[in-house]
A and B are shown apart, each in its own frame.
Chain A
Amino acid sequence: MDKKSVLRKKKFGLGLRLSLLLIIAVVVCSSFVTSVMAKERLIYMAPPWGVPSKGLLKEFEAQTGIEVEVTTIGSDKALRDKVMTATAGGISAADVIFTGITNLGVFASGGSIAKLNEIASPDLLKGLAGVKQFTINGNLYGIPIYQQMVMIDYDSSVLKKMGAPVPKTWKEFHQLCREIKERGIKKYPITFGARAWSWYLIALSMGDPLFDENLNPTFDKPDSGGLRAMRLLRDFFKEGLISPERITNVNPHPAFWAGKAVFHQAWQGSLAISNNPKKSKVAPYAKYMLLPDAHFTWGLPAALSISRFSRKKAEAYNFIVWFTGEKVQRYLYDAYGMYPANKKVFAELGKEGKIEGYDVMAEQAKFVRSIPYQAPWYTEFENETNNTIKKMARGEISPEEAVKHLADFVYDLKKEYE
C-alpha cells in the first residue's frame, strides 16, 4: 500500500513538473508580448531595400515616442501573400505597408490599404513625384517614397573596343550584339531575363503602349510594337545573344556585374552598384543608355500605404511623413540606390553631382509610360506573361502565339473583373 502511494505521488510529481514547465514557457512567452506592447508601437512591413537604418528609426522614436518594429520580408510575393491572407482574415499584417507599384492594384481592390485622401496633406504630396501613379479613380492609396525607371546600362569599355557608337535603334542594337558575339568578346552580350519586364522594355521603347485608355491590349494589333518586341526577344534567345540560364534564373543583374554581358536591363540608380568595384567587375565603365527607337520606358516606384485595419492611422501617417523627409530619402539613395520621390532632395542630389548618369536619366525621364498596375487583374496578367515568355524562350511556342495568348488572357480577365 505504501509503495503504491509513494509511486503515485512520484508520478503526479512528474506530471506536475512537466505541466509547470509548459506553463512557465507560455507565461514567459506572453510576458514578452505584453512588455513589448507597453510602448506605442507601429509595425512597418517592407522588403530589405525599404528599411531605414536602426539609427534613423531610433531618431524617429526619440522625436515622436513611437517605436517602429520593422518586419523585413525578402520577396515581393511573400509580402503580398502575408498582406492578402491577413486581409482575408480581417486584420492588418502591419500598420504601414510598403507598396511596390506592382502590388498596388491587388492591395487597393482587395481592401488591404486605406484611402489616404483625407489624411494626406496636399503640401506634402506636391513635393513628391509619382503621386499620380498611386492614385486610382481619384483615390490616393500610397505616398511615394522612391521613383524608379527601368533603364538599360551597358559596359562602355566593350563599345570602345568595338569602336561602336551607342545604338539608337533596336536594329542597330541587334546587329551590334551579333558582332560582339562573333568577335568572341562576350558569349552572351545581352542579359535580359526571360520574363515580362524584358518584353515590356522592348515593346514600350518600340512605341507600343501595351494598353490603351480602356485597358485593352494594343499589342495584338498586326505589326504592333508588342509583336515585334516578342519576336526580337525570341531572336535574342534563339541566336544565343542571351544566356539560356536567363530562362530559369531570370534575375539579369549578377551576370552583368560578373562582367559576362554588355547590355543589361537595369534600373534608375543601378550605376551605384554597377560602378562599385566591390560589387561589380564592370566598374567603372558602366553607363546608362537612352532606350532605342521611341525611347519609352516605365516606372517601378514604391509607396508607403496605411493598412485599412490599422488602429494607429495617425501615427502611421506621421511615420510616412518622416519617411519622405530629407534624412530618410537621402538614406534610401545612399544605401540602396533608390531615387527620392522627394523632388527637392532629388534636385539637390543632382546639383551635388551625386547622381551618376544624371544627364541620360533626365533625358530618359521624358519618355515614361504607365503600366496599368492599378488594375486589380494586372499582376495575374504579369504572372501569365512571365510563364508565356519562358515557354517562348524555350522554343515551345512562337512569338505570335505568345502575343495572341496574352491578349486573350487579358480579355478573359477583364470579363471576370467587370
Chain B
Amino acid sequence: MLKLCKREKIIVYILLVIYSSIILIPFFMTIMNSFKSMREIFLLPFSLPSHPSFRNFIDAWHQANMGNAYLNSALIAFTSVIGTTFISSLFAYAISRYRFPFRRQLYMYSMLGLAFPARLAIIPVFLMMKSLGLIDTRLGLIIIYISVGIPFSVFLLKNFIDGVPLEIEEAARIDGASAWMIFWRIVLPLIRPALAIVAIVRFVGVWNDFFFPLIFINTRSKATITLAVSIFFGEYSNTWNLLFASLTLAIIPILILFLIFSKQFISGMTKGAIK
C-alpha cells in the first residue's frame, strides 16, 4: 500500500476511470454493432442502434453453427487444461524436489518449447499428426495444446514449488506418507494459486486459438468458436452485422467466466505469489 493522501486518491480515481473507459470502448463498440443492421453500421458509426433486435444473433448463431462450436471449444479447452495442469505440476514437482542427474538440463529442455513459434513448425506438426491419424480430430488438438502449454506451466509451477518450505514434506515423509500422497495431498493444495494461474492462462490460450483449428479441423461439426466466427471475416464478406453478433457471442462465455472467477483468480494470486 502506498498510503496516499486524499488529493492523490482523487488522481487515482480519475486515472482508473480513464483506463477503464479505454478498456471498455472496443467492447462497447462490438456489442453495439451487433444490434444494428448492416446499413446502420457504416452509416451511423457512433450512434446507438435505432431498432435494436436480436435478429443478428439468431442469424449468426445458425450460420456459424455456434452451439456446436461452443461444445467443441469447451471440450478441447477443459481437457487440455486439465491435462497440462496435471502433467506440468507433476513434472515441476519432480524437477524441484527429486535429485537426479541432468536435473537442471531437463528443466531447460522442457522450457525450450517457449522459443519456437508454433505457426512456423506447422508442417512438421501436421506430418506427425497425420502419421498418428489425428488430422481433423479434437483429440489431436488436445494433444497439441497440452504439449504447447507445458513450458510456461512448468516454469511457473516449479518456481512456486521451490518456494514451498521443505519441512512440511519432510514431516509427512517421516509419518510414512507415500510420494504420491505427498504430492497430491500436501504440495498441490499449497500451490493452488499457481495452479489457478496456469489453468486460466492455458484456458484463455486454448479457447482463443485460431491457427491450429484452422489448419487441423476440416469438418464443420468439429469447429471451435474462433473458427466458427471466422467465416464472417473475409475481405469480401459484407455481413458485418452478423460478424459483430458472432464476435459478441464468441467472447461472452469467457467474459462470464472471468466475471465469476476473477475474485478467486486475483485473490489466489495474492495468497503467495512468487517469492
Q: Do chains A and B touch in the complex (CB under 8 A)?
A: yes
B-binding residues in A (CB < 8 A): 4, 7-8, 11, 14-15, 18, 22, 25-26, 28-30, 32-33, 36, 43, 45, 47-49, 69-76, 78, 81-82, 85-86, 88-91, 93-94, 250-251, 253-254, 257-259, 273, 278-281
Which residue of chain A has its CB nearest to the CB of B178?
A8
CA distance A232 to B137 in the complex (A): 52
CB distance from A195 to the nearest CB of B (A): 10
Interface-forming stretch among B123-131, B156-164, B200-208, B256-264? B123-131
Quick check: A29 and B137 within 8 Å, CB to CB?
A: yes
CB distance from B237 to the nearest CB of A (A): 6
CA distance A281 to B42 in the complex (A): 10
CB distance from A187 to the nearest CB of B (A): 16
Quick check: B219 and A278 within 8 Å, CB to CB?
A: no
CB distance from A194 to the nearest CB of B (A): 13
B83, B122, B220, B238: the one contacting A71 at CB < 8 Å is B220
A15 cross-chain contacts in B, Cβ below 8 A: 180, 184
B39, B127, B235: the one contacting A251 at CB < 8 Å is B235
CB distance from A122 to the nearest CB of B (A): 32
Quick check: B43 and A47 within 8 Å, CB to CB?
A: no
Q: B267 interface residue, CB < 8 Å from A?
A: no
Which residue of chain A has its CB nearest to the CB of B175?
A4
19 contacts between A and B (CB under 8 A): A8-B178, A11-B184, A25-B79, A29-B75, A48-B231, A48-B232, A71-B218, A75-B230, A81-B215, A85-B126, A86-B126, A86-B215, A94-B218, A250-B235, A251-B235, A257-B42, A258-B42, A278-B37, A278-B39
Quick check: A72 and B231 within 8 Å, CB to CB?
A: yes
CA distance A120 to B185 in the complex (A): 67
CB distance from A126 to the nearest CB of B (A): 30
CA distance A280 to B147 in the complex (A): 49
Q: B15 interface residue, CB < 8 Å from A?
A: no
Q: B21 interface residue, CB < 8 Å from A?
A: no
CB distance from B216 to the nearest CB of A (A): 9
Quick check: A89 and B123 within 8 Å, CB to CB?
A: yes
Q: B234 interface residue, CB < 8 Å from A?
A: yes
Q: B19 interface residue, CB < 8 Å from A?
A: no
Q: B86 interface residue, CB < 8 Å from A?
A: yes
Q: B196 interface residue, CB < 8 Å from A?
A: no
Known: A22-B79, A47-B234. 6 other contacts (CB 8 A): A4-B176, A22-B82, A26-B79, A29-B137, A33-B137, A78-B214
A32 cross-chain contacts in B, Cβ below 8 A: 221
Which residue of chain A has its CB nearest to the CB of B131?
A89
CB distance from B138 to the nearest CB of A (A): 5
Quick check: B238 and A254 within 8 Å, CB to CB?
A: yes
CA distance A78 to B218 in the complex (A): 12
CB distance from B255 to the nearest CB of A (A): 23
Quick check: B215 and A82 within 8 Å, CB to CB?
A: yes
A73 cross-chain contacts in B, Cβ below 8 A: 214, 230-231
A25 cross-chain contacts in B, Cβ below 8 A: 75, 78-79
A33 cross-chain contacts in B, Cβ below 8 A: 137
B176, B185, B234, B238: the one contacting A76 at CB < 8 Å is B234
Quick check: A91 and B230 within 8 Å, CB to CB?
A: no
CA distance A251 to B218 in the complex (A): 28
Quick check: B139 and A30 within 8 Å, CB to CB?
A: yes
Quick check: A91 and B39 within 8 Å, CB to CB?
A: no
Quick check: B130 and A48 within 8 Å, CB to CB?
A: no
* B interface: dominant SS: helix
Q: B181 interface residue, CB < 8 Å from A?
A: yes
Task: Knowing A25-B79, A69-B221, say if A85 contacts B236 (CB, 8 Å).
Answer: no
CB distance from A265 to the nearest CB of B (A): 12
CA distance A72 to B218 in the complex (A): 9
Which residue of chain B has its CB nearest to the CB of A250?
B235
Task: Knowing A89-B130, A91-B130, A273-B238, say if A74 contacts B220 (CB, 8 Å).
Answer: no
Which residue of chain B has its CB nearest to the CB of A75?
B234
Per-residue CB contact flags for chain B residues 209-246 toward chain A (1 = under 8 Å, else 0) read: 00000110011110100000011111111100000000
Quick check: B82 and A74 within 8 Å, CB to CB?
A: no
CA distance A28 to B230 in the complex (A): 26
Quick check: A11 and B130 within 8 Å, CB to CB?
A: no
A279 cross-chain contacts in B, Cβ below 8 A: 38-39, 238
A71 cross-chain contacts in B, Cβ below 8 A: 218-220, 223
Q: B135 interface residue, CB < 8 Å from A?
A: yes
Quick check: B230 and A74 within 8 Å, CB to CB?
A: yes
B233 cross-chain contacts in A, Cβ below 8 A: 74-75
Which residue of chain A has its CB nearest to the CB of B122?
A85
B82 cross-chain contacts in A, Cβ below 8 A: 18, 22
B177 cross-chain contacts in A, Cβ below 8 A: 4, 7
Task: Knowing A7-B181, A91-B135, say if A45 contacts B218 (CB, 8 Å).
Answer: yes
Per-residue CB contact flags for chain B residues 130-163 toward chain A (1 = under 8 Å, else 0) read: 1000010111000000000000000000000000
B43, B126, B135, B220: the one contacting A69 at CB < 8 Å is B220
CA distance A85 to B65 in the complex (A): 25
CA distance A14 to B185 in the complex (A): 11
CA distance A86 to B75 in the complex (A): 24
Quick check: A281 and B127 within 8 Å, CB to CB?
A: no
